[in-house]
Amino acid sequence: MTALDYNPLIVQSDKTILLEVDNSRYEDARDAIIGFAELIKSPEHIHTYKITNLSLWNAAATGMDALQIISALESFSRYEVPENVITDIEDYISRYGRLKLEKLNDAVVLRSDDEILMQEVIRNKKVQRYLTEEQIDARTVVVQLGARGYIKKALTDIGFPAEDLVGYVDGEFFPFHLRDTTRGGLPLSLRKYQSEAVDSFYAGGSAVGGSGVVVLPCGAGKTVVGMGVMEKLETNTLIITTSTVASRQWRAELLDKTSLEEDEIGEYGAERKEIKPITIATYQILTYRPRKSEEEDNFPHFYLFNERNWGLIIYDEVHLLPAPVFRVTAELQAKRRLGLTATLVREDGRERDVFSLIGPKKYDALWKELEQQGWIAEAVCTEIRLRMDDEHRLQYALASDRSKYRIAAENPRKYAMARQIVEYHRKRDDRILVIGTYLEQLKHMAEMLNAKLLTGKTPNKERMKLYDDFRSGDVDLMVVSKVANFAVDLPDANVAVQISGTFGSRQEEAQRLGRILRPKNDGSAAFFYTLVSKDTKDQDFGAKRQLFLTEQGYKYVIKDAFGGE
């Protein structure tokens, strides 16, 4: 047996990569390929990754080149890497940046050193509509006014993403700095990876930086990265968040950790519509349309994007960016744009639009690395499979495909199992979240456990009170709907019991795990339980949700609880 026989990768000609889990080099190989390949499925023994055009372009944007990628594959591959895979990697990596958008006098121009490529591109119908008839020379053509975002999307769609070197407006100057200590008296400085993320985005203030996505785990301080970028730029900033609660948490963080005062931060949402040098809005208010409006594009709050001379727009949880905001973002390419997220995966498949209109991935940190460094808590992930009783099995068998998942997700045997888990962790003085999707299931769970229930219908004032009680220890258990997936700051939560989820949503799995990953004062682990109904769509979708955790280096312990008691 040769040394190669011990290598864990098999690279196939269709650009899929098989990774052997039960191999001593598994973790090293996984870490080597995750920067340029997407995880497709992760059963027990062999994980499947896929090299895509977009995964290669994101790798190129973070500084990886074809030689590094090919070298990583060859170092861990059991067999020779297929020649066509090597050729495709070299080809697609080289496509990123062969076309460039630059500024010429007051115009935006599309330029390439490859004259033949330029002639091919300007004759493409998808691109042609965004170009003027003014061709400077054989390698340079003027872009239509206001079409900078649209042409970037079109070029990405045809397989030649442009490097945007036009630069940005500075926006209205606004002095701003991070404090050395929080207002609560705690020392404050950026962690090494947070500084690296800020520097990767800022790029010394050059046109190379200024737009893109920073990928960090929940609990790793994405908000602090946003504030670090704001400090670099010192400009009027618009921050867009997922909810009013998230907006108020951003506001609290800004007041605690920066030089900002109360009257310098505006909240633009359903309850208040303040516009200040630093303004925090929600996706919901921006995409609101009057019910009686006959105009499809009538979004009355879009005026906010032009209400001040913004120099920076921060898109929190950018993987949830609604489609209408993509459209307005296409017209905001002169503004610096920072996307913050725990995962680039979008359930609607529009990762390419994030790449084109917000910008490429600028920084990504492996969750397990941050865990090893103590910045996020160690997580123990367990899937418990429960059978359904005969009555529900028959109901499931006779149901339509559309109804099967919900029947399985609401398996009554989950109640007893969840109660066992909660009782065990309460004896350890743990802080517990029971998380689900279906309101009737959650109501029953809350009544059974005599626990507080938090849903989308809970008024904001009551939500904030519940969060405060949980942080103080007055409440050690909450039953929460998917409203708690996003931006809920509950640093003391260390147990999550997931009783139902949104089909196979990887992004939801990331968010829910993130709720319990804040590092604990005593260094203890976090526990993430998922309850699924055995041999049903619930189990199938659970496997899809787990893809994200596998991608980040976590392993599920799978247990069968045959009776569910």
Q: Give bridge partners of residue 529 from the DSSP assignment.
A: 382, 497
Supply the mean pLDDT for the chain. 88
Cβ contacts of 522 within 8 Å, gap of 6 or more = none
Residue 352's Cα: distance from chain center in Å?
14
* pTM of the model as a whole: 0.82
Instruction: Please state at what angle helix 192-202 crosses helix 222-233, rounded to 10 degrees.
Output: 50
Helices (H) and strands (E) in the chain, counts: 21, 23
User: For residues 483 and 243, is the Cβ–Cβ distance under 8 A?
Assistant: yes
Distance CA 521, CA 528 (A): 18
What integer pLDDT is reported at residue 220 of this predicted model?
A: 85
Distance CA 556, CA 553 (A): 10
Would you place residue 563 in the very low, low, confident or very high pLDDT band (cuts 50, 70, 90)?
very low
Residue 488 has pLDDT above 60, yes or no: no
**How far does the chain reach from its first CA to its final CA, in angstroms?**
49
Residue 345 has pLDDT above 80, yes or no: no
* CA geometry: angle 106, 108, 110, nearest 5 deg: 150
What integer pLDDT is reported at residue 484 of this predicted model?
A: 64
Q: What percent of the chain has pLDDT over 90?
A: 55
Q: Can you tell me the mean pLDDT for 40-51?
A: 84
Of 458, 460, 455, 491, residue with least CA distance to 473? 491
What integer pLDDT is reported at residue 544 of this predicted model?
A: 75
What integer pLDDT is reported at residue 467 of this predicted model?
A: 82
Q: Can you tell me the mean pLDDT for 528-540?
A: 91
Amino acid at 141: V
Q: What is the pLDDT of residues 126-173, one digit of tens each?
A: 999 999 989 999 999 999 998 999 999 999 999 999 999 999 999 999
What integer pLDDT is reported at residue 289 of this predicted model?
A: 75
Q: Can you tell me the mean pLDDT for 456-470?
A: 84
CA distances from residue 25 to 7, 28, 92 in whole angstroms, order as listed: 7, 5, 28
Distance CA 54, CA 159 (A): 9
Distance CA 289, CA 165 (A): 35
User: For residues 543 and 398, is the Cβ–Cβ distance under 8 A?
Assistant: no
Cβ contacts of 474 within 8 Å, gap of 6 or more = none
